[in-house]
Amino acid sequence: MASKRDYYEILGVSREVTTVEIKKAYKKLALANHPDRNPGDEEAIKRFKEAAEAFEVLGDDKKRAHYDRYGHADFGAGASQFHDVSDIFSAFGDLFEGFGFRNSSQRGGNRPRQGESLRTSLQIDLLDAAAGCEREIHINRQETCDTCHGTGARPGTEPDECDYCGGAGQVVQSQGFFRVQTTCPRCRGAGKVIVEKCSDCRGEGRIAQETTLEIKVPAGIDNGMQLCLRGEGNPGANGGPRGDLYVVIGVDEHPLFRRQEQELSCHVPITYTQAALGANIEIPTLEGRHDLKVPSGTQPGEVFRLKGLGMPNPHGGRRGDLHVVVQIDVPKKISEREEELLRELAEIEHAEVSSHRSPNRNSFFDKLKEYFTHSD
């Protein structure tokens, strides 16, 4: 299967350009390959669709940021909402107004149109993000009115064809050498006018309802990533397909682990004697307890890399690693015997030390104990 072309390459722009420049580049490319200028040219239609898919992502700041970070993988195969040329006109038809093109989304107000896409958010913790999970979400979306079946007209009646635009949904006016095409002011592009409105939906054809959906969150998902649920948005017009639902995932910070994409890090304190003499210590991982051998002479800040114990890759591939950073834990409260031994060591090292001692403090081990208690 051939790999998809880079969206910036398709539009012929660099990655540093502004959104305004991206829009200009798309408009230029779309006009050059517009179906009305290239009748029967399948390659031009292909370029026209390709440019629209690129602009759909790069023209949106949030989608562009995801694309810059993850490339095509974060959008999945077939992520574009455009199934045919008419869908492009529905989404970006305003860009072609004033050029005299017979925009297929604008002629024939009764053509099926895809519904609006929706967006919501879901918050999960790091352990659920690592393992993957299933969650229920509640959204408010439009549903087709059961009384009028989406027509907006009172049962037993039908909408009338708009006599202003003749059902086209658009009107064309000539201004000198130019033909300007605009949305019909009476039917607002629908091509029909509802004379007797449905009492339940008040002529809208849709009613707002709360809906519960169950979604599967893939293992390894990162904060800010989004899932696309096809066909779970608002219903389309005139029998068109539903829009999509985008779920933006938020991942809570963890008390022990810090994440950088698939890599995890954890700061673990050890005593001075463990660092000097070496020790086998117990550390936390996503799967629970894990033994780590600390060699003698370990220095503060030294990092031990445990391969494959980080986060899964949501797009497949190698799992990340866990980086254990050791810190020398200096106690703030010691026994008299410990103090005697430390002062003897100070004499051996010819080190000057204070005679004062500090109060007790909470340590990393309190968090570690709590983590293991909940994970067991």
Distance of CA 36 to the CA centre of its chain: 35
At residue 69, the pLDDT reads 81
For the stretch 166-177, pLDDT in tens is: 887 777 766 555
First to last CA, the chain: 45
For the stretch 175-225, pLDDT in tens is: 555 566 777 887 877 788 888 888 888 888 888 888 899 989 988 888 888
Q: Which CATH number fits domain 257-375: 2.160.10.10, 2.60.260.20, 3.40.50.300, 3.30.2140.20?
A: 2.60.260.20
**Helical ranges in 33-125 per DSSP H:** 42-58, 61-70, 85-92
Helix count (H) and strand count (E) of the chain? Answer: 9, 15
Q: Look up the CATH number of domain 1-105.
A: 1.10.287.110
Task: Give ranges for CATH 1.10.287.110 in the chain.
Answer: 1-105
For the stretch 111-123, pLDDT in tens is: 677 888 889 999 9
Is the pTM of the predicted complex or chain greater than 0.75?
A: no
Q: Helices 42-58 and 61-70 sit at what angle, rounded to 10 degrees?
A: 100
Task: Give ranges for CATH 2.60.260.20 in the chain.
Answer: 116-159+194-252, 257-375
Cα atoms in the Cβ-side hemisphere of radius 13 Å centred on 340: 3
At residue 1, the pLDDT reads 43
For the stretch 77-107, pLDDT in tens is: 444 555 454 555 554 555 554 444 444 444 4
Q: How far apart are CA 180 and CA 331, in angstroms?
A: 80
At residue 344, does pLDDT exceed 50?
Answer: yes
Q: Which residues of 140-156 are buried (b: 16+ CB within 10 A; e: fewer)?
A: ebbebbeebebbbbbee
For the stretch 29-64, pLDDT in tens is: 988 888 777 777 888 888 888 888 889 889 888 888
Least Cα distance to 287 among 133, 123, 130 occurs for 130
Q: Look up the CATH number of domain 116-159+194-252.
A: 2.60.260.20
Type of residue numbered 235: P
Least Cα distance to 320 among 328, 331, 329, 311 occurs for 311
Q: How far apart are CA 303 and CA 341, in angstroms?
A: 29
Three-state secondary structure readout of 327-361: EECCCCCCCHHHHHHHHHHHHHCCCCCCCCCCCCC
